[in-house]
Structure 1
Amino acid sequence: MIVCSCNVISDHDIRGAVSIDDELCSTAQVYDCLGCTVRCGRCSQAVRRILEEQPARDIRGIGA
């Protein structure tokens, strides 16, 4: 499913980036890893949800 229409990024792209670099903890970092930037921002909540659903992740930076 396309999560970001501006950059044409799918949920699979985001999950792939997170699986490669488990230190990604913000939408900006995910977009940077994918070689683009957040444009309109409507996708930010969806990207955040995908980050939060990854197992054994604490995106606040406190323990894991």
Structure 2
Amino acid sequence: MIICSCNVISDHDVRDAVESANIELCSTAQVYNRLGLLVHCGLCSRSVRRILQEPEMASQS
């Protein structure tokens, strides 16, 4: 599902970025940095944070 229409990023893109990171990603800005993108309007921040807080994502780091 697309969670960022500004950058056309899906929930899978965010999960892949978190799983492939060598460090724990704790913020939306860190996820976007990992993806090589910038946050534009910020409406996706809540969805990205929700993904970061998922149990399987929290156990990755």
What is the TM-score normalised by the length of structure 1? 0.83
Runs of 4+ in 1 over 3 A off after TM superposition: none
When the two chains are superposed, the root-mean-square deviation of aligned CA atoms in Å is: 1.9
Of the two structures, which has the highest relative contact order with CA contacts closer than 8 Å and spacing of 6 or more?
Answer: 2
Higher Cα Rg, which structure: 1
> Any unmatched runs of 5+ in structure 2?
none
Higher helix share: 2
User: Take 1:23 and 1:46, find their aligned partners in 2: how far apart are those partners?
Assistant: 17
CA distance in 2, matches of 1:7, 1:56: 22
Q: Percent identity?
A: 63
Instruction: Give unpaired runs (5+ residues) of structure 1.
Output: 59-63
Q: How many residues align?
A: 59
